[in-house]
Amino acid sequence: MLLAMNLGNSSLACGVFDRERLVTRVRIVSSVERSADEYEALLGSILKSKGVAPADIKASALASVVPDLNEVLGGAVEQLLGAPPFMISPAVDSGLSFNTDNYMELGSDLLANAAAAVALYRTSCIVVDFGTALSFTVVDSAGCVHGAAIAPGLRGAVHSLVSDTAQLPHVELQPPPRAIGTNTIHAIQSGIVFGYAGMVEAMVHRMQRELPERATVVVTGGMSPRIVDEISVVDDRAPDLTLHGVRLIAERNRVV
């Protein structure tokens, strides 16, 4: 089995794969304050609680956008599994080509999203990833990455709004009953949820106009369930897309 990991600024998402089958998934809060020992103990105990013995995992792969945690998490995985994880980056063989100014700038999570989109949909795709950041990755049916767009994520937008204003409360991110909020909570929910839904729709329409063929719009990311029903341009939901991309790149590099 393979342990595929996607490390973001807010969380560490893990999936245990038996070939292409996702056996189980784990999500824990990521923190630069944790030691390798703490990550090892936490990840090991959660996997065991889900019926997965670390001894059954033969290899691991990591896509990370938090360089400060790579060594710590890599050490934790090596302690848990006996070998460090294979690091996903544009420098490894992903099977993709690039129509960008500098392909080495592409984040490993966006690389994994593109690899998975090509393999699973076999058509041009716009992958909308609601993670700590909101990202759009454009890849065509031949596996050429044409570029990306990145905006602040939902949670960050709420935090920025509340921390920079004296009288606005923290709110739960969910769609309000109406776009015109009649109280402060609904007003914030409308601005964030409906505002971000509109931004996604506008960005997708702009990107579609720049492509020679219509692209399938795929939504992923931990924050996507809070907003995806409000977005009219979504063709498919793929909550584990990034993990599948990590798996596919690892397999291509004969990690497993």
Q: Are 127 and 117 in contact (CB under 8 A)?
A: yes
Q: Which of 56, 93, 109, 140 is catalytic?
A: 109
* Structure token pair of residue 91: 């420098």
3-state secondary structure at position 54: helix
164: annotated active-site residue: no
Element (H, E) at 6: strand 2-7
Q: DSSP secondary structure string, 142-206?
A: TSEEEEEEEEE-HHHHHHHHHHT-SSPPP---S--S-SS-SSHHHHHHIIIIIHHHHHHHHHHHH
Angle between helices 108-121 and 241-252 (to 10 degrees): 90
Q: How many residues does the chain have?
A: 256
β-strand 133-139 against 59-64: which pairing, if any? unpaired
Q: Would you please indicate which residues are annotated as catalytic (active-site) residues?
A: 109
